[in-house]
């Protein structure tokens, strides 16, 4: 585990070279096809050395929940273990890790038709009107979810419209916990300034690799829009808004870097409260040896 740009993928690939394991991606951006540059997806050379499970599995117009991830990850883990190898879960989507390890409430899966209805209502009436609906059906969730948090607000309404039960009611029940023993590592720089610099350097490298052109291709599709989870990924949203003329190129770069730093801050907040973590320093020469020592 670790914040974005902390060196997770590089360490994981070194581990694959030195240990009989296979990588399962735990990243809510890498699941999308056609989103390679801005998601920092491993390149062809890296994938040749260390293939990743659960990347490039859905189209950006499709939905994918933490429950979907848990189901898919458990199947991959079982398959890898059945072949005598060790599953290596790598990523920074803490909600996916939490769902996998702690289990999930029996919430209904995503429904694209209902999501489209909610998005249309939001466009017509505004998110405040939808938040008022949520207050009526689930006041506890409405207290917790801000009207300016469309993703969580839409999900709470979607759950009710599919199941007839509120999010609060359904989340009182949990599924089975993770059925395997896990050794959990987190990697991050000790100095936040180092992480901030790495984030800036990586985003500027993405621009050189054709990130704006990638977003232009996505934007040219008539089935993609900014309310989709895929287009809300950091960097993509800011670049889309730049291409819409909301702000200039330099402002887009600044906003994308700031948004990525905010993501890293949230990831670190999750990790500081995570139990049983073994911490690694980004770039430390002994990281591979440390992981191998615990793994044996």
Fold of 8-104+176-295: Rossmann fold (3.40.50)
Structure pTM? 0.81
Cβ-proximal residues to 241 (8 Å cutoff; 6+ apart), any chain: 226, 247, 252
Question: Which residue spans within 13-122 are E strands per DSSP?
Answer: 21-25, 52-53, 86-90
Strand partners, 52: 23
Q: Domain segments of the chain: what residues?
A: 8-104+176-295, 112-170
Tell me whether the CATH fold assigned to 8-104+176-295 matches the one assigned to 112-170. Answer: no
Pairing status of strand 184-188 against strand 86-90: unpaired
Fold of 112-170: Histone, subunit A (1.10.20)
Q: Return per-residue pLDDT of the chain as tens, 296 residues.
A: 999 999 999 999 999 999 999 999 999 999 999 999 999 999 999 999 999 999 999 999 998 988 899 999 999 999 999 999 999 999 999 999 999 998 887 788 788 899 999 999 999 999 999 999 999 999 999 999 988 888 889 999 999 999 999 999 988 877 778 999 999 999 999 999 999 999 999 999 999 999 999 999 999 999 999 989 999 999 999 999 999 999 999 999 999 999 999 999 999 999 999 999 999 999 999 999 999 999 87
Question: What tokens were used for 22?
Answer: 């296979």
User: In whole angstroms, what is the distance from residue 139 CA to residue 145 CA?
Assistant: 10
């Amino acid at each position: 585990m670790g914040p974005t740009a902390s060196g997770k993928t590089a360490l994981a690939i070194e581990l694959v070279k030195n240990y009989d394991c296979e990588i399962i991606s735990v990243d809510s951006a890498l699941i999308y096809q056609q989103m390679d540059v801005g998601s920092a997806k491993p390149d062809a050379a890296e994938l040749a050395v260390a293939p990743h499970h659960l990347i490039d599995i859905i189209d950006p117009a499709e939905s994918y929940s933490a429950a979907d991830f848990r189901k898919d990850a458990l199947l991959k883990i079982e398959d890898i273990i059945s072949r005598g190898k060790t599953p290596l879960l790598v990523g920074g989507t803490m909600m996916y890790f939490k769902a996998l390890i702690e289990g999930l409430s029996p919430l209904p899966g995503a429904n694209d038709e209902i999501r489209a209805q909610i998005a249309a209502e939001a466009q017509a009436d505004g998110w405040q009107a939808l938040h008022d609906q949520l207050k009526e059906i689930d006041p506890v969730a409405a207290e917790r979810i801000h009207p300016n948090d469309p993703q969580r607000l839409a999900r709470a309404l979607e759950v009710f419209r599919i199941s007839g039960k509120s999010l609060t009611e359904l989340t009182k029940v949990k599924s089975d916990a993770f059925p395997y023993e896990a050794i959990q590592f987190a990697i991050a720089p000790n100095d936040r300034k180092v992480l901030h610099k790495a984030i800036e350097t990586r985003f500027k490298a993405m621009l050189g690799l054709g990130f704006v052109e990638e977003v232009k291709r996505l934007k040219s599709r008539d089935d993609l829009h900014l309310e989709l989870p895929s287009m809300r990924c950091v960097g993509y949203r800011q670049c889309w808004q730049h291409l819409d003329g909301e702000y200039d190129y330099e402002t887009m770069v600044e906003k994308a870097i700031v948004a990525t730093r905010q993501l890293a801050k949230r990831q670190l907040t999750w990790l500081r409260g995570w139990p049983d973590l073994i911490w690694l320093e980004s770039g430390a020469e002994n990281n591979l040896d440390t992981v191998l020592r615990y793994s044996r």
